[in-house]
Amino acid sequence: MSDKIPIGHFLLKWWSNDVSITQKIDITYTAYSEAGVTIEEYRKMGVATTLIREAELFQKKRVVLA
């Protein structure tokens, strides 16, 4: 595969009107993951784990102005 083709993604959200989510966590200051996928040929190679770790680091660095 080319280096320019994504092999996975992870969607973080800080907003939702889904009551099943907002009743459980305060997403004002905490992100939640809505979706993630890794192309099948790259599964079991640590791609999703790396995406999750990067998402956690990104969430910790994000500044929320209230």
**Secondary structure letter of residue 27 according to DSSP:** T
Q: What pLDDT was estimated at residue 1?
A: 52
Query: What whole-number distance in Å separates Cα of residue 35 and Cα of residue 48?
Result: 11
Look up the pTM and report it.
Answer: 0.63
Q: What pLDDT was estimated at residue 66?
A: 43
- Average pLDDT along the chain, 66 residues, taken 10 residues at a time: 78 75 72 83 91 83 56
